Chains A and B, each alone.
Chain A
Amino acid sequence: MTQPDTQDPILAEITGPTPGQMLRKRVVGHQGLMIGVVVLVILTLIAIFAPLLAPHDPYAQSLMTRMEPPVFLGGDWEHPLGTDHLGRDYLSRLIYGARVSLMIGVIAALISGVIGTAMGVAAGYFGGRVDMVVTFLINVRLAMPVVLVALAVVAILGGSLQVVIVVLGLLLWDRFAVVMRASTLQVRGREYVAAARAIGASTPRVILSEIMPNIANNLIVVVTLEMAHAILLEAALSFLGLGVQPPTPSWGLMVSEGKNMMLFEPWMVLIPGAVLFILVLAINLMGDGLRDVTAPENRS
């Protein structure tokens, strides 16, 4: 068998790049997406290997070395990013804080993703009363002030990492439901769905093998957005003192603790906030990038 001659322009056009190759080319060519992915991978690795990377125990207090400045403000390399008001190593707490933020983001997005996707797909696929009920629930959910309800519930149940994750997971399903409903509505009318129904495929089968694969790209984009949302909300709750409780190293909590020292040691606020900003920025860049490269208008 001979290889097709790719020099021939007509053959090249027919054999052309495969959809996969084209997607890969768009992904690599998308600056924002690449930056987002690289930063996110680095932060994830840092979170996973936190015990190996952290120079100190993030919980170890030392009253002798309180509020030491970072090296770039005249501190020493023993504590590269200084120490907090209890003498805990700032860098180590930041490294372990990545675990908290990423865990919150991933699990909360997972919980809300399951709830929201189930509701949205059901509404879009079945329509009628199911759709009415789901749309109504979305309206109710949107009417509730998220920060306030999350704060109240966490306060009532007692602040802990688990509670914050579950509460955020149970609150943030609205965008999943809205987007998945719209995507399902769009896909439901396509010929391949009608064809699958015509050959007698069961409803779960149609949804799982015909609908889901075709709305997965939108789902991934919402997952990233809601991860970012959950991470920001956890930080806000912890900042308000009603989220993750001390001594857990949460970046929001670190900003809150640093706030009292803000007049003299502004770096204590700037550093954890900046790390939080970079993480959320990376996730958003990835989400925006994914939306760009998987948008239907790119599939020529």
Chain B
Amino acid sequence: MLVFILKRLGLAVLVAFTVSFISFSLLFMAGDPAAALAGETASGEDIEAVRKLYGFDRPMLVQYGDWLISALQFNFGESYYFRLPVSSLIVDRLGVTMTLGVCGISFALLTAVPLGVAAAIRPNSIIDRAALFLSVAGQAMPSFWFGLILIVIFAIQLGWLPPSGASTPAHFIMPTIVLGYYAMPAIMRLTRAGMLDVLSSDYIRTARAKGAPEGRVLFRHALRNAIIPVVSLAAVQMGFMLGGSIVVESIFALHGAGFLAWESIARNDLPTVQALILVFSMFYIVFTFLADVLNAWLDPRMRSS
């Protein structure tokens, strides 16, 4: 188990460094960052001055080294647009995004897992067909469109929920649904497939032969085994969700990290964009790492090896 964790950790660190290099190189894709920074009206001398000031005249790898060392200390430089340290900008905005992410994945798990279990208990029943239909439709639904429809119905027509902002818990209801529904189909299908597989296994028959009540058979004996792969998937989905928060936050005007990303991209604020790509990637890396460890711990076969 320890060997597994160390190996997995090594991989996570290596991936993290590679991602950091890629997000740093984005800066150079644009051509001359100094020219971009100085603005369209800048003269050649202005651009040279900016180049010196920001150190763009040094070799790229040296610049990367510098950036990486500061990034490790959570210092991503200053935002071109807000003229504030990028790190404090991100810290300010991350709370909203994390809240949304946790709510989103909880919503997805709380709806998809029971639905998957119900579908697996009675394959081909009405519940199963409805769940399958929901998952197929869910996968095809553009999230920005879904969000706008919810706003039209619940905020404009019915007036039940606030259309935008983040000041009260009610503000998070629609964004949670929009962010969460995207992860539902995959979780639902995996739960269903896992439960179907486990329910036909010999040890479930053993549990029934012991006289265990049906609820105990389903949840203690079957779900405990079927849920293991779902944990990994949920972590991956959580990572994707934070990345996807950009769409949801822009629809509902939630000023989180996703919204910040949208603003900075639109304003060519490269240090902020770089830092956000890195931060979102780190979340994904940490989540999947934790999920793998949790998984290994949930599965006795891996725990003891």
Contact = CB atoms under 8 A, between A and B. Distances in A.
Contacts of A151: 246, 261-262, 265
Nearest to B273: A152
Interface residues of B, number: 47
Contacts of A147: 243-244, 246-247
Contacts of B244: 145, 147
A267 B60 CA distance: 50
B242 to A, nearest CB: 7
A153 B28 CA distance: 11
Interface in B133-151: 136-137, 139-145, 148-149, 151
A235 B148 CA distance: 14
B77 to A, nearest CB: 16
Contacts of A140: 15, 18-19, 22
Nearest to B31: A156
A71 interface: no
A153 B26 contact: yes
Interface in B1-59: 11, 14-16, 18-19, 22-23, 26, 29-30
Contact of B148 (A259, A284, A288): A259
A253 B30 CA distance: 24
A252 B261 contact: no
A199 interface: no
Given A151-B246, A153-B26, A262 B152 contact: yes
A255 B148 contact: yes
A235 B145 CA distance: 10
Interface in A133-167: 136, 139-140, 142-149, 151-153, 155-157
Given A143-B281, A259-B148, A156 B142 contact: no
A242 B15 contact: no
A55 interface: no
Given A140-B22, A153-B26, A145 B281 contact: yes
Nearest to A283: B140
Contacts of B156: 262-263, 266
Contact of B136 (A152, A156, A281): A281
Contact of B247 (A155, A157, A239, A276): A239
B225 interface: no
Nearest to A242: B265
Contacts of A283: 140
Interface-centre pick from A144, A157, A252, A284 (highest chain B CB count, 10 A): A144
Contacts of A180: none
A68 to B, nearest CB: 20
Interface in B264-304: 265-266, 268, 273, 276-277, 280-281, 284-285, 288
A232 interface: yes
Contacts of B75: none
Interface in A256-287: 259, 262-263, 266, 269-270, 273, 276-277, 280-281, 283-285
A45 B30 CA distance: 38
Interface string A167-201: 00000000000000000000000000000000000
Contact of B15 (A136, A149, A153, A288): A136
A174 to B, nearest CB: 11
A277 B140 contact: yes
B250 interface: yes
A120 B266 CA distance: 35
Given A147-B243, A259-B148, A269-B152, A284 B140 contact: yes
Contacts of B284: 142-143, 145
A139 B16 CA distance: 10
A149 B142 CA distance: 19
Contacts of A281: 136-137, 140
B22 A148 contact: no
A32 B23 CA distance: 41
Contacts of A288: 136
Contacts of A206: none
Contact of B145 (A145, A242, A269): A269
Interface string B68-88: 000000000000000000000
Contacts of A284: 136, 139-140
A240 B142 CA distance: 13
B145 A276 contact: yes
Nearest to A146: B243
A147 to B, nearest CB: 5
A92 B139 CA distance: 27
Given A143-B15, A281-B136, 18 more contacts: A136-B18, A142-B236, A143-B288, A144-B19, A144-B23, A146-B240, A147-B247, A148-B261, A148-B265, A152-B26, A155-B268, A235-B144, A240-B246, A255-B142, A276-B145, A277-B141, A277-B145, A288-B136
21 contacts: A139-B15, A140-B22, A142-B239, A142-B288, A143-B16, A145-B244, A145-B281, A148-B273, A152-B26, A155-B265, A155-B268, A235-B144, A240-B144, A241-B266, A242-B266, A252-B144, A255-B144, A266-B152, A269-B145, A281-B140, A284-B139
In the complex, the 5 A-B pairs of residues with the closest C-beta atoms, listed nearest first: A145-B243, A273-B145, A281-B140, A280-B140, A145-B280
